[in-house]
Chains A and B, each alone.
Chain A
C-alpha cells in the first residue's frame, strides 16, 4: 500500500547567499518558513517542485521537506534538521534567527 502523503514545503538554498528559502503560493521565495506554501496534495507537490527546479538562477538544491500544519495552519518542521534550517546554528545567534 502506498504510504499516506504527509504535508510538504518546497525548500532550497538561495544561489547568491546560500540562505535557506521556501517556495510561496505566488511561486516566489521567502526566507520565513511560516510564509511558505503548505502543500497537502501529492500531485501539487510534484508540480511545485518542478516549478521550483525551473528557477536555477534563484534556488539551489530544491527538495520537498516534511512539515506539519501548526495551530494557525502555518507549516512547522517535523524533523530537527528542518528546525535548525529555519532557525540557524545553535552556537551563535547567526543566520535566520538574527534577521527576524
Chain B
C-alpha cells in the first residue's frame, strides 16, 4: 500500500495546524462565517441539517486494518459510534463538534488520512475500481495511476480555483466497476494492438442536474502521456468552463456546448504545448508507486475447508454465491462485506463492525480493505480456505448479509435525514424497500438488480445509473419520489428513463413492488436480468404495472 513520504506528512501536519488556528479564530469571533466557510470546506467540514459533518477521503477506496481501526476510534470518541461510507469512497461522520474537529484531523493524520480535497472547486479524491489489484479480469492495478494523479493534483497551483469541482475515476478492468462514464474524466486502462499499456480517456460524464454519459476524447493514450494529457484537459476546461453560471460550469456542459470534436482539437493542441515539460519524472514516480502497490505474497494451499463448507452449510453457500468475486490468484477470492443488512442504513458501519473488519483484514486479508462506491466494504485478498472462518466472524458481527448485487443492496445518499441540500429523504425508502423484499423472500429469485436513491438532483445516490433510480423531490411541500428505469453504471453505461409521475413516500414502496411483479411476469426466464428485460422490451410494458389506475381510467 502507498505510504506517505515525509513531504506528505509534513504537508498534512501544517494543514491541520492551520485549520486548528482557523477554528480557534472563528470561535473567538476573529473570523466571520463568510471567511471561515471556505476554509472549513477545504478541510472536509460541512454544516448539515442537524450538526457538522466531517468527510474523510479514502483515496481509491484503499484502507489498512490500522486505518479502519482509527475510523472506529474516531466514531466512538467524537461521534455517535458509527460512520457512513459514501458513493465517493469517503467516510462521513455525522455528529462532530466544531471544537473537536482539529483533534479528529490529527488522529486521522497519524494514520496518513485526511479530509483534503473532499470539497471545493478542486480535483477531488480520485476514485478507482474497488477490486483493484485483485480482480481476475484486470489488465493492471489502477491505483498507482490514481495515486500519481492525487500527487499531481494536490495543491496544484493552477487547479485550486477551477470553475467547479472535478472528479476523476480509474479502472484497470474491462468490466467497469468505477463508473468511469459518469465522471469528469474517466480512465480505462487498455492495451494497444502491440500490447503497450495506455488509457482510453473519457471526458464530460457526470450525474446531477444535467446527467451526461462521458464521451471518448482519446481512444488510446500511451501511458507516459497521461499527466500532460490530463493537464491539457483540465486547462482547456479551466479556460472555457463557465464561471458565470454554477449549473453550467462542469466540464460535461463545456463538452456538450462545444462538442467533443472541438474539445478534442483544443486538448490536443494544448497537450502538444505541455508534453515537452514532462521530462519523465512522473514516469519514475509511477514506477515507484507501482512498487508500493505490489501484490501481497499469495500462498498456495488446498481449498478443502472451503469446498466442505460450500457443500455442507447452506448459509455459507448462499453467502459465497452472492458475495464472492473471482480473484486473479488461484485459490483466492474477493470478499464483499455487505453494509446493507435489510432495514439498516445503507453504507453505515458501527465502530465495532469496523474493528471486526479490520481484524479480519489483518488475519486473513493481507491487511487490506476497500470501500466500494456501492457503499460496501471489500476484503480483496482472502484465501478460500479461510472463508468459512471469515464468514463465521462476519455472522457474529451482523455483517454476513448475502445480498451483493441484489435488490436490497441499495445505494442511498444521506438525503434529508442529514443533508442540508436534500429535497426529500432517501434512507427510509431504502430501508423499507429492503425490508419488504426480504419479507417476500423474493430477493434471490429477482436476481441482479441495482436500486439507487438520491435525495435531490445532485444525484450523490447515482439514481440516473440505477437499473431502478429513485429521486426524492419536494412537490408543494410533500416528499415525492420519481422513478427512472434502465440506467446502467458499467461499461455499457446508460441514463435511466423517467417512468412517469412521481409517488408519495407512502406510495413508493408499493410502486416498486408492482414494478418487480411486472418484471417477474415479463422476463423470458430467471436468467434474464431486470436490465436485460428492460433493454429488450423498453419502458412502456413496465408502465402498466407502475400506473395501473391510468390503464383502468383509459379502459
> Measuring CB to CB, which residues of chain A are less than 8 angstroms from any residue of chain B?
13, 15-20, 56-57, 60-61, 78-81, 84-85, 88-92, 94-96
Contacts and interface: CB of A to CB of B under 8 A. Distances in A.
B80 A92 contact: yes
Contacts of A60: 33, 47
B51 A84 contact: no
B478 interface: yes
Given A89-B417, A91-B345, A17 B47 contact: no
Contacts of B98: 15-18
B416 interface: yes
A92 B414 CA distance: 12
B32 A56 contact: yes
Given A16-B27, A17-B98, A79-B477, A56 B33 contact: yes
Given A18-B48, A20-B50, 7 more contacts: A15-B27, A17-B52, A18-B51, A60-B33, A84-B416, A84-B417, A91-B428
Contact of B47 (A18, A85, A90, A91): A18
A18 B418 contact: no
Contacts of A19: 50-51
A18 B52 contact: yes
Contacts of A92: 80, 345
A17 B427 CA distance: 23
A88 B479 contact: no
A7 B52 CA distance: 28
Interface of B: 26-27, 29, 32-33, 47-52, 80, 94-95, 97-99, 345, 416-418, 425, 427-428, 431, 474, 477-479
A96 B50 CA distance: 8
B47 A13 contact: yes
Contacts of B95: 94
A80 B416 CA distance: 9
Nearest to B96: A18
B189 to A, nearest CB: 38
B466 to A, nearest CB: 20
A89 B418 contact: yes
The list of the 7 closest CB pairs from A to B, nearest first, reads A89-B417, A18-B51, A18-B52, A95-B50, A57-B29, A91-B345, A91-B427
A94 B345 contact: no
23 contacts: A13-B47, A15-B98, A16-B97, A16-B98, A17-B52, A18-B47, A18-B48, A18-B52, A19-B50, A60-B33, A61-B33, A61-B47, A78-B477, A80-B474, A81-B49, A84-B49, A84-B417, A89-B50, A89-B417, A91-B345, A91-B417, A91-B431, A96-B50
A95 B80 CA distance: 10
A38 B466 CA distance: 44
A18 B78 CA distance: 14
A95 B51 contact: yes
